[in-house]
Structure 1
Amino acid sequence: MIKNVIFDIGMVLITFNWDQYVHRLFNDEETEQAVTAATWHNPTIWNELDKGVLSAEEVCRLFEQSGKGYEKQVRLAFERMGECPEQQPYAIPWIEELKAKGLNVYYLSNYSYYLMDVCPEALSFTKHMDGGVFSCEEKLTKPDPEIYRRLCKKYGLIPSECLFIDDLAANVAGAQSVGLNAVQFESYEKNYPEIMRFIDEI
């Protein structure tokens, strides 16, 4: 029986359309590609930001070093990153629907202190949830199995009673490795009916 639903945040409860964001900033394909390669497509540095082990300024400088010749544009994209995330219109209604069914609802997300600071409104749905874990708080990122265990330990959750929802296959596999039920999220239109049916049937 599912008693707890655990949401990833990025690309599930919020959008993070980087390509549209840099296009709005620069409207120049070469610049957009260079900035994206230095930042969004630089997972090693981005992971350090999500882990909360480096300051925002330290991360920005590393991104700048990766974008030689585009340092000013890289910094601009980083400093205005709060313009990128947008909360999905279904986020709060879905959470409230699950809670009305008697379920507990949590979040487990790779998320940085920096993004929380520059765009707090994107996370307003967390006030409707029963708690959760951000990677920056734990100094760990998904799909490390330990971060799933920490969420369960923090709230006394039994993994077999939980359903985890994430857009990345690796993170779904990480959840399954510690005994969580898990589903890969592609879109609300596709997955909402499947998820609600699974909750009702199991």
Structure 2
Amino acid sequence: MIKASAWSDTLLDTSTVDMAIVFDFGRVVFDWQPEALLRRVLPQRAASLQAAAHWVDQIFQSYQGDWGDFDSGLVEVPALVERIARRTGLDQAEVQAVVDAAPASLTPLPGTVALMERLKAAGRPLYFLSNMPLPFAEHLERTHHFMAWFDGGVFSSRAKVNKPATAIFDHALKQFGLPAEQILFIDDHGPNVEAAKALGWQALQFVGDAGLERELVERGLIV
């Protein structure tokens, strides 16, 4: 465990000194509420919670199908809009409005950002591994100062493959230049966590910043 009186003289256990922390983004670092997004952008379509949930399923397809291809960088916005409109019966203008509004709806989660700041102050290398369409990734890179805290990261749209596929984890290891056992991966989606563990990564399922803080303290990664 860490024993220290201040950040500047923190002493790290040799078992954790080289541990890198890898964050998922959606619902871990950034809030993502697609039902609220649709109720705001398509109020006539998503007039109730039930209707909003229906259109979330139709548009995002559990982040597979058309949206999965968008996440993987295999389809660009015009083709995505046309595909979703044709499949769902929505107007192309409606689909375009959702796609255009989505990046700004990814808002930082203050509790996680505060934990990242503490990890950075403790000398922990920070990385990210996120399923994210390219226009959304570029928006986050332009907009948020804490993106500079990361030592590196992988977006699915640039890797051309999504979590939980083995290939994206292998790609991330090469990008980070780290062995699997030197990584603690934090993701809100259980299948992604299990996929990482199967490949030798340490991994936690994110359910909130309070639980994550407890885990990080217990592991001696922050004080």
Q: Give me the TM-score of the superposition, normalised by structure 2.
A: 0.81
Structure 1 distance, partners of 2:77, 2:215, is 39
Structure 2 distance, partners of 1:124, 1:49, is 25
1:68–1:95 Cα change, 3 Å: same
Q: Secondary structure of 1:10's partner?
A: coil
97-106 or 166-175, which moves further after superposition? Answer: 97-106
Report the Cα offset of residue 117 of structure 1: 4.2
Report the Cα offset of residue 18 of structure 1: 0.7
Alignment equivalent of 1:189, drawn from 210, 214, 217: 210
Alignment equivalent of 1:116, drawn from 134, 137, 143: 137
Structure 2 distance, partners of 1:132, 1:120, is 11
CA RMSD of aligned residues (A): 2.2
Unpaired stretches in structure 2, ≥5 consecutive residues: 1-14
Report the Cα offset of residue 71 of structure 1: 4.3
1:94-173 matched pairs, under 5 angstroms: 94-118=115-139, 120=141, 123-173=144-194
Give the number of aligned pairs: 201
189-198 or 60-69, which moves further after superposition? Answer: 189-198
1:31–1:199 Cα change, 3 Å: same
Structure 2 distance, partners of 1:118, 1:96, is 21
Alignment equivalent of 2:23, drawn from 1, 4, 7: 7
The ranges of structure 1 where at least 4 consecutive aligned residues each deviate by more than 4 angstroms after the TM superposition are 117-123
* Percent of residue pairs bearing the same amino acid type: 23
Alignment equivalent of 2:35, drawn from 11, 19, 26: 19
Alignment equivalent of 1:37, drawn from 39, 49, 57: 57
Report the Cα offset of residue 72 of structure 1: 3.8
Q: Secondary structure of 1:5's partner?
A: strand
Q: Deviations over 1:133-165 (max 9, x none)?
A: 111111011111121122112222121111000
> Which of the pair has more CA radius of gyration?
2
Structure 2 distance, partners of 1:132, 1:75, is 28
